[in-house]
Structure 1
Amino acid sequence: MVDTQPRLWTIRGIQLDGEVRPRLKVDHLDIVAGRTAVLGASGAGKTSLLNLLVGFESPHHGRIENQLPTGTGRLPLFWIPPDGGLWPQATVDEHLQAVTPGGQQSSQDTLARFGLDHLQNTRPGQLSAGERSRLAVARGLAANADVLVADEPLVHVDPARLDRDWESLVNETRQSGTSLVFSTHSPEQALRHANRVVVLSGGQVIAEGHVATLYEHPPTREVAECLGPVNWFEPEDAIAWAVGDENMCLRPEHVVLEADSSGPARVVHSHAIGAIRETRLELVDRDHQRTILHLADSAPPTSDLRVKITRRVTPG
């Protein structure tokens, strides 16, 4: 799939040095307009990459070219750092008034969307961690920049309202034409809210591209696991479990355990964890077991049932 979106940043051969090893080492990466997730575990290099994008740090080697929009009458860039970057002396309302081109009403509407309108005279030190996270995002949206860079936004928000606040963030950027670059350790947030994803591990880019493509066709097991629950088969295992003869990535929603008296495996046990079922299988011709993840949308398979692993057919 060819990208037609304009580039925002071009990175070539950059390195950020660390005490023991480089904190970040990227040979080639383009960040384009739209919504890009920077995904990885703690210490993967997410913050280091975002720091480079916004100019908070400079690479020790290589170059990064800023190609942000110009002449739009808007701020080219607004940054939400990992600690939110709030001003301790300013009230909630003053945080938005300082950056809001649209004035008082626009500020009040944004505060209301994030459940902060009743706290407008409160300072950050009197807010909970979740409220501070929401204020940082509300201020970032109020700035109405061409590009919003957010380092793990909404990370402290209670689960009960997390999806609602993410929807507000994404909808606001979509409606205003703001590109969003955000870091996260959550594959769910990347899959739900990004068009493209950059996957980091050990300070290096291990994959980048369209989210849907990498989810369905990850190049390695590590990339597959970064993007959510997966049944990964190396070629030898794929042959043994009769699912193919090469590396296979089967997501839980793709898997069906079909009863088959001549199937290669038997059920050891099975239990559901929410929408996903974990079923332990054992090969009948050798002492080898593995857990298969599949949807818990049918009756659980019974112990000792002979089965084969098949791919769910989706109506096309």
Structure 2
Amino acid sequence: MKEVVMGKDEAKRIWRLDEVWKGKGDGARLKGVSLDVREGVTAVVGCSGAGKSTLLNLLVGFEQVDGGKVLGCGGDEKKVGFLGRLFGRRNKGGMVGWAPQGGGLWSGMTVRGHLEAVLPWSCYAFVPVGDGGREIVDLSGRDKGEVVGLWLKSFGLEALADRVVGRLSGGERARLSVVRALGMCSGLDWGGMHREPGIVVLDEPLVSVGKGDARGYWEVIRRWRGVTGGNVVFSTHFPELVIREADWIVCIEDGEVVWEGEVMELYERPVSEKLGAYLGELNWFEAGEMGVGEEGGRGVRPEKLRVEVVEGEGGDELGWIVVSSERVGAVVETVVRLSGGEQKRLLHVGEVLEVGATVRVFVVDHCEMQVKACI
């Protein structure tokens, strides 16, 4: 059963999937998917082979559905076609820029050529000037070399402008694919008329780029969104990227959407341990633990869990006993023995605990006030 959780004020949809199938039977890559993709930034998550790439391919028109419909805010998107939109065809939903997993780059063309081919040279557009400069530029009559240079510089590609795709590394290809998609959707008007915000679709973007560099490139994407009002749909395996960049999340398992809604809703109130794990580590407490009722479990993120040593005598009757405790990055992983003898793994903030210590476990709210205690 798919869980759907939306905000109080529903965002405008940019795509709707209505009972979409890709393939047939149990081996289908998508199985009757119904989904609204909304304005803002949407992350698509799931294990390898779950159907993430297939979903994105259908959104951009690179593949066609075998059943159901993919609808945009202007009608049936599959009638628009991938190549038509890639080379500048407009539709009521705005331009669509695509960065597939393989890059989708044009062999034999230079890095510079990829930007020259897609930038909207006849209108006002976003250009990543940087350094606090004005980033809305009239491209008509503007020096193409200068504009392309600014785009390439924003993704660390300026020194490779005249290099052909076949001589690029994997990380360089990944950056070029993303910057081309952004450039394609950078226009703000068309012949003096307002242009609908573009949609950039990124399939596991920048995975071969170091995290520190990738964060800077995502900052360019944020600036692009701030100026153009554009939307982003991306797939990823990285929870921290979803939390930092996305407004909405779509969870796919075996070709089916099992949860969709706001990122922070799933982060703070996961309905199951498996779904909660899509956004990183969490502690899962079953009925009877941490004051959880009989109706189900409760997920608690490490930053909200406190494990405190019980001072004085009392032994096992007062709490849980520490079996092991070690720091793992920013959190502490502690294994405790429960009163019934079974063991439980806890992820929490604070100090590494002494083996054999008796502890109590607390959940804290944003004001650091204790709200639940496990005895």
- How far does residue 287 in structure 1 lie from its aligned partner after superposition? 2.0
Deviates more, 1:252-261 or 1:170-179: 170-179
- How far does residue 302 in structure 1 lie from its aligned partner after superposition? 1.0
Give the whole-Å Cα distance in 2 for the aligned partners of 1:73 and 1:109. 29
Corresponding residue of 2:155: 114
Give the whole-Å Cα distance in 1 for the aligned partners of 2:90 and 2:111. 30
Corresponding residue of 2:178: 137
Deviates more, 1:137-146 or 1:223-232: 137-146
Corresponding residue of 1:278: 333
2:304 paired with 1:250: no
2:69 paired with 1:63: yes
Pick one of 198, 201, 214 that aligns with 2:253. Answer: 201
Pick one of 304, 307, 315 that aligns with 2:359. Answer: 307
- How far does residue 4 in structure 1 lie from its aligned partner after superposition? 3.8
2:233 aligned counterpart, secondary structure? strand
Give the whole-Å Cα distance in 2 for the aligned partners of 1:142 and 1:73. 19
Corresponding residue of 1:80: 99
Residues 174 and 165 (structure 1), Cα distance of their counterparts in 2 relative to 1, 3 Å cut: same
The 8 Å contact of residues 11 and 64 in structure 1, kept in 2 or not, is answered as yes
Residues 74 and 62 (structure 1), Cα distance of their counterparts in 2 relative to 1, 3 Å cut: closer
Corresponding residue of 2:38: 32
Structure 1 segments of 4+ aligned residues over 4 angstroms from their partners: 68-75
2:165 paired with 1:124: yes
Give the whole-Å Cα distance in 2 for the aligned partners of 1:259 and 1:115. 50
- How far does residue 49 in structure 1 lie from its aligned partner after superposition? 0.6
Give the whole-Å Cα distance in 2 for the aligned partners of 1:66 and 1:205. 19
Corresponding residue of 1:98: 117
Structure 2 unaligned segments of length 5 or more: list them: 1-6, 76-88, 121-138, 187-197, 369-375
How many residue pairs match? The answer is: 309
TM normalised by structure 2 equals 0.77
1:213 aligned counterpart, secondary structure? helix
- How far does residue 29 in structure 1 lie from its aligned partner after superposition? 0.8
Identity %: 35
Root-mean-square deviation (CA, aligned residues, Å) is 2.2
Give the whole-Å Cα distance in 1 for the aligned partners of 2:292 and 2:93. 53
Q: Deviations over 1:259-308 (max 9, x none)?
A: 2355431111111111011111111x32201110112xx33111111111
Q: Deviations over 1:22-78 (max 9, x none)?
A: 211244210111111111121111001111111112221212212259989995211
2:27 aligned counterpart, secondary structure? coil
Corresponding residue of 2:126: none
The 8 Å contact of residues 325 and 352 in structure 2, kept in 1 or not, is answered as yes
Give the whole-Å Cα distance in 1 for the aligned partners of 2:245 and 2:344. 32
CA radius of gyration, larger in: 2
- How far does residue 244 in structure 1 lie from its aligned partner after superposition? 2.1
